[in-house]
Amino acid sequence: MRSYIAGNIKIQQFAAVLLPLGLVLGGCSQFSVPVGSNNVDTPTLLTGSIPSSSDVAYSDISVEDRKIIAENLDVAGPQLAETGQADALSLPWLNAVSGNSGTLTNIDSASLGETGCVFFKTTANTIAGIKLYSGTACRDVTQKFSVTTLSVADA
Contacts (Cβ under 8 Å, ≥6 apart) of 106: 87, 119, 120, 121
Residue 147: pLDDT above 80? yes
Range scoring the smallest mean pLDDT among 42-46, 117-121, 131-135, 142-146: 42-46
pLDDT for the residue 71: 93
Average pLDDT over residues 90-98: 91
The span from the CA of 104 to the CA of 92, in Å, is: 6
pLDDT in tens, 24-79: 766 655 555 555 555 555 444 445 555 555 566 777 888 899 999 999 988 887 77
pLDDT for the residue 66: 92
The span from the CA of 89 to the CA of 82, in Å, is: 12
Can you name the residues that pair with 126 across neighbouring β-strands?
129
DSSP string across 58-86: HHHS-HHHHHHHHHHHHHTHHHHHHHSEE
The whole model's pTM is what?
A: 0.61
The span from the CA of 102 to the CA of 91, in Å, is: 8
Going by C-alpha positions, the residue among 124, 146, 141 that lies closest to residue 57 is 124
Residue 14: pLDDT above 60? yes
Q: What percent of the chain has pLDDT over 90?
A: 23
User: 120 and 104 in contact (C-beta within 8 Å)?
Assistant: yes
Average pLDDT over residues 104-108: 88
- The set of long-range contacts for 103-112, using a CB threshold of 8 Å and a minimum separation of 24, is 104/69, 104/72, 104/73, 107/73, 107/76, 107/80, 109/80, 109/81, 109/83, 109/84, 109/85, 110/84, 110/85, 112/80, 112/81, 112/84
pLDDT for the residue 43: 47
pLDDT for the residue 46: 47
Average pLDDT over residues 88-105: 89
Phi, psi of 34 (to 5 degrees): -70, 130
